[in-house]
């Protein structure tokens, strides 16, 4: 029986470990040819090595699949060019890009260094741009293709991850912009917010209510890359264990208006007409602080 992704050429960044590796293996098992892109860094982006990408290529080949390793840094334009170029050189096409590469440098905003900010934004947000930009130019001409970004629930806000959270929010906006800009060319863009047991999630200081394995995330990635999802674009999906949830599209929810320009005093007098949208995270933090004060291990 033909695989779900038979004949497609797909580049997966961060494919040397964790969720990226699971996605690369699942895509290959469905008949896709894979660019395994990873520079094999530590969790904070240190100590690059090419062996991790090579090892995943060997796994794919051992299962009878076809893959090429590219040990390039996704945060560099030249890296993005070489990753997408590897698919073009070998297979003459690029049908999907799955941008999974990522690092963590956690710090409270008031202690965060410029380097911690820059490295996380460069790896995650620019690391999506470099491969998406390169692939989009080809997919536009092909009039087909599927871009998949990796965001996080942290895009809605996070405590000690201003850099990561900002990058993940940027990825959602990048994906929505790609979906809007490429729609007329038949090219799609979606994002996954995963939760899975990897070295990255191992340090979360609280017990997550939901937890799954990297292999639980891969089937949704395969689906979004496939022709079965040809009408799905501009979406964000949480994937954890056996749960898949779709996020809403941001929209204004209430308005108040005045003739001409507002005076601050009038805004103060009528503010309740627009009011605030309660930030669920702040409520959860309150509950966690209370639980911690009473000696319980907090749940997120
Ligand atoms: N694990 C989770 O629960 C979770 C939750 C939310 C979001 N995410 C996101 O999912 C993605 C995958 O996370 P994971 O848990 O599998 O992480 P991981 O640390 O296991 O894997 C990340 C991979 O990216 C590679 N990488 C890092 N910087 C790179 C660069 N500049 N160029 C090329 N490769 C690079 C690393 O070498 C590593 O193999 C990340 O974007 C992460 O932010 C994960």
CB-CB neighbours of 232 under 10 Å: 17
pLDDT of residue 299: 61
CB-CB neighbours of 196 under 10 Å: 21
Distance 257 CA to ligand 1 centre (A): 45
pLDDT of residue 189: 99
Q: Is the pLDDT of residue 99 over 60?
A: yes
CA distance 75 to 71: 12
Q: Which helix (H) or strand (E) holds 221?
A: helix 214-225
pLDDT tens by residue, 181-199:
999 999 999 999 999 999 9
pLDDT tens by residue, 6-27:
999 999 999 999 999 999 999 9
147: β partners = 97, 189
Q: Is the pLDDT of residue 297 over 80?
A: no
Give the atom of ligand 1 at the shortest distance from the alpha carbon of 48: 37
Q: Is the pLDDT of residue 174 over 80?
A: yes
pLDDT of residue 202: 87
Distance 144 CA to ligand 1 centre (A): 26
239: β partners = 194, 244
Q: Is the pLDDT of residue 205 over 70?
A: no
CA distance 268 to 274: 11
Q: Is the pLDDT of residue 100 over 60?
A: yes
Is residue 164 among the annotated active site residues?
yes
Place of tokens 């741009």: 129
CA distance 245 to 247: 7
Alpha carbon of 109 to those of 28, 157, 158, 161, 221: distances in Å? 40, 12, 11, 8, 33
Q: Is the pLDDT of residue 123 over 80?
A: yes
CA nearest 139: which of 191, 87, 192? 87
Give the atom of ligand 1 at the shortest distance from the alpha carbon of 196: 3
Percent of the chain past pLDDT 90, that is, above it, reads 90
Average pLDDT over residues 226-245: 98
């Amino acid at each position: 029986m033909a695989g779900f992704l038979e004949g497609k050429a797909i580049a997966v960044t961060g494919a040397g470990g964790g969720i990226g590796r699971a996605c690369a293996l699942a895509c290959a098992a469905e008949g896709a040819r894979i660019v395994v892109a990873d520079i094999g860094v530590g969790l904070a982006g240190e100590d690059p090595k090419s062996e991790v990408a090579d090892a995943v290529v060997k796994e794919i080949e051992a299962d009878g699949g076809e893959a090429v390793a590219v040990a390039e840094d996704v945060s560099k334009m030249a890296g993005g060019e070489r990753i997408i170029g590897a698919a073009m050189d070998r297979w003459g096409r690029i049908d999907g890009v799955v941008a999974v590469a990522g690092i963590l440098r956690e710090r409270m905003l008031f202690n965060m260094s410029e380097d911690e900010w820059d490295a996380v934004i460069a790896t995650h947000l620019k690391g999506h741009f470099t491969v998406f930009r390169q692939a989009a130019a080809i997919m536009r001409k092909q009039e087909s293709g599927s871009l998949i970004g990796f965001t996080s629930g942290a895009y809605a806000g996070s405590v000690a991850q201003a850099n990561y959270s900002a990058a993940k929010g940027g990825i959602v906006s990048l994906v929505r912009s790609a979906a809007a800009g490429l729609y007329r060319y038949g090219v799609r863009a979606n994002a996954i917010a995963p939760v899975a047991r990897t070295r990255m999630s191992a340090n979360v200081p609280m017990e997550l209510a939901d937890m799954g394995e990297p292999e639980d995330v891969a089937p949704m990635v395969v689906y979004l890359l496939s022709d079965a999802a040809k009408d799905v674009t501009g979406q964000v999906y949480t994937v954890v264990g056996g749960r898949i949830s779709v996020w809403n599209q941001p929209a204004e929810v209430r308005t108040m208006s005045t003739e001409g320009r507002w005076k601050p005093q009038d805004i103060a007098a009528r503010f309740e007409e627009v009011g605030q949208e309660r930030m669920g995270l702040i409520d959860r933090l309150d509950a966690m602080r209370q639980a911690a004060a009473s000696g319980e291990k907090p749940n997120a």
